[in-house]
């Protein structure tokens, strides 16, 4: 029996279940971050006296951070190590979110959203839909086994 068949036929370990749960939580936080910003947008616009188009720039700030992170952070995984880079990105995102809570103006909040968006580009490949070492062939995925 080769390793791939052994992985396919065995149950997931506790560590694997925790890793999948962590990826789920990371993706939920990403969606929640965008959702909260869109709901808070009108209040931010009124409080800081911004134009409504500025909320679109704030929402795009996270996406710009993802683009920068995808270009510069994701390739570091091969040199630094995936676990070390993932933990560093978790720390960077946490700091960005804490700083965003203390932002006093539009520029500070935009910078925090860009910094917070960078790690998501690293987590996207790490939190893919199929478990590691499981090839998805044809129309069936790991859920159909």
21 pLDDT more than 80: yes
Burial 130-139, CB ≥16 within 10 A → b, else e: eeeeeeeeee
User: What gap in Å lies between CA 116 and CA 111, rounded to an integer?
Assistant: 9
Backbone torsions φ then ψ of 121, nearest 5 degrees: -65, -30
From the list 60, 92, 57, the residue with the least C-alpha distance to 73 is: 92
Q: Quick check: 120 and 65 in contact, CB under 8 A?
A: yes
Q: What pLDDT shows up at residue 136? A: 44
Radius of gyration of the chain (CA): 19
Q: 2: exposed, middle or buried (C-beta count within 10 Å: 0-12, 13-18, 19+)?
A: exposed
HSE value, Cβ hemisphere, 13 Å, CA-based, for 129: 5
> Which range among 17-21, 41-45, 132-136 shows the weakest confidence by mean pLDDT?
132-136
What are the contacts of 4-10 at 24+ separation with CB within 8 A? 4/133, 4/135, 7/133, 7/134, 8/134, 8/145
Place of tokens 């683009």: 67
Mean pLDDT computed over 42-61? 87
Q: What pLDDT shows up at residue 25? A: 82
End-to-end CA distance of the chain: 18
124 pLDDT more than 50: yes
């Amino acid at each position: 029996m080769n390793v791939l068949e052994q992985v396919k036929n065995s149950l997931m370990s506790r560590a694997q279940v925790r890793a999948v749960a962590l990826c789920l939580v990371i993706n939920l936080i990403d969606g929640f971050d965008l959702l909260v910003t869109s709901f808070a947008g009108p209040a931010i616009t009124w409080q800081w006296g911004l134009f409504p188009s500025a909320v679109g720039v704030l929402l795009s700030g996270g996406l710009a951070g993802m683009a920068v992170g995808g270009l510069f952070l994701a390739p570091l995984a091969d040199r630094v190590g995936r676990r070390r880079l993932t933990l560093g990105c978790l720390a960077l995102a946490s700091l960005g979110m804490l700083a965003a809570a203390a932002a006093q103006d539009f520029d500070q909040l935009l910078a925090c959203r860009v910094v917070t968006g960078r790690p998501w580009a690293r987590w996207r490949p790490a939190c893919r839909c199929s478990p590691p070492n499981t090839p998805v062939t044809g129309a069936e995925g790991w859920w159909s086994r």
